[in-house]
Amino acid sequence: MLPTLTHLQFYVLSILMEGQKTGREVREMLRTEHGQKKTLAAFYQLMSRLEDSDLIKGWYESKHIDGVTIKERRYEILGAGVRALQLQDEFYNSIRRKVVFGGA
């Protein structure tokens, strides 16, 4: 079966395998660790698609900073997201084995 995740979706799910993260943290990790700089609109559209596909869960948490209340978006990977990562990994590992070991 061919993988269904884009490289950006794969990166995001991989980041969330480390645990819950804020949108700001995920976006920063995409930029610094994967060289992927996205506009805020493009980033949140990506996250929304992952939520709509039930691969991740997102919610708002209120946070008080210097007497001001802000809402921060947090995300976590769901079971379907973990499985999608596993399927993608299995697919590429099978290809790698065929190339390296001649069809093993």
- SS3 state at 63: strand
Domain membership flag for residue 14:
yes
Q: Read off the pLDDT band of 92 (50, 70, 90).
A: confident
pLDDT at 1: 57
Would you say residue 101 has pLDDT above 90? no
Which residues constitute the domain of residue 30? 7-101
CB 57 within 8 A of CB 51: yes
Number of domains in the chain: 1
Domain membership flag for residue 1:
no
Higher pLDDT, 3 or 16: 16
Residues contacting 75, CB < 8 A, separation 6+: 16, 20, 21, 22, 23, 26, 47, 56, 57, 58
DSSP state of 19: -
User: What's the pLDDT tens digit per position in 30-72?
Assistant: 999 989 888 999 999 999 999 999 999 999 999 888 999 999 9
Tokens of 27: 């976006």
